[in-house]
Amino acid sequence: MLNPLYESLSDKTYDAQVIVTLPVFRLFSKEAQVGVMAHEFAHAEHADRLGPGWYEKMLSRYADEEKHADRIAVQWGFGDHIKALRSERHEIVNPLLDSRTRRILRRLHKADEASRNAMLARMRAAGIDEAELDNLI
Ligand SMILES: [Zn+2]
């Protein structure tokens, strides 16, 4: 996934970064993994041509952007890799992720709850009272 890389929260401009979620990436074959990376670098090449505001421009036409990235990667010679990526995403990865959605969401919820409780404990230790906490959360 090609995402903005901000220097600070107030920045209006940003660079780009490719983010790979390894547990998902590992579900693909080596051939499809090359397709994933070619697709992401195709987004980067397109972002460079779009210039400032590239991320918002891409999001506003997301489906077209996805097809465009695949077309660029195919033009670069990664056609077989893109074909493997599409086929494995449709036949293997998405069904597997769909079947694991409930477990993934439960795990995310637990992690979120643990993080929230740790934050509450730190705030209590800092002397913030319960009523104030209720207003903050
Ligand atoms: Zn994409």
Is pLDDT at 134 greater than 70 in this prediction? no
- How far is ligand 1, taken at its centre, from the CA of residue 40, in Å? 6
Strand residues in the chain grouped as ranges (E): 2-5, 15-18
- Dist CA 93 CA 9 (whole Å): 34
Predicted TM-score (pTM) of the model is: 0.75
- Dist CA 115 CA 109 (whole Å): 10
Please classify residue 86 by burial: count the beta carbons closer than 10 Å to its beta carbon, then call 0-12 exposed, 13-18 middle and 19+ buried: middle
Model confidence over 96-105: pLDDT tens digits?
999 988 888 8
- Dist CA 36 CA 28 (whole Å): 9
Nearest partner of 21 among 5, 44, 6, 3, judged by Cα = 3
> Where exactly are the structural domains of the chain?
2-101
Using a CB cutoff of 5 Å, list residues around ligand 1, an ion.
66, 69
Is pLDDT at 130 greater than 80 in this prediction? no
Model confidence over 9-68: pLDDT tens digits?
777 788 999 999 999 999 999 999 999 999 999 999 999 999 999 999 999 999 999 999
- Dist CA 71 CA 82 (whole Å): 9
- How far is ligand 1, taken at its centre, from the CA of residue 88, in Å? 15
122 pLDDT tier (thresholds 50, 70, 90): confident
Look up residue 15 and give its DSSP letter: E
Sign of the CA dihedral with 75 first, then 81, 83, and 87 last: negative
Confidence (pLDDT) at 85: 98
- How far is ligand 1, taken at its centre, from the CA of residue 16, in Å? 13
- How far is ligand 1, taken at its centre, from the CA of residue 46, in Å? 11
> Is the model more confident about 85 or about 116?
85
pLDDT > 90 fraction of the chain, expressed in percent and rounded: 66
pLDDT (mean) for 88-98: 95
SS3 13: coil
Confidence (pLDDT) at 136: 63
Q: Indicate the average pLDDT of the chain.
A: 91
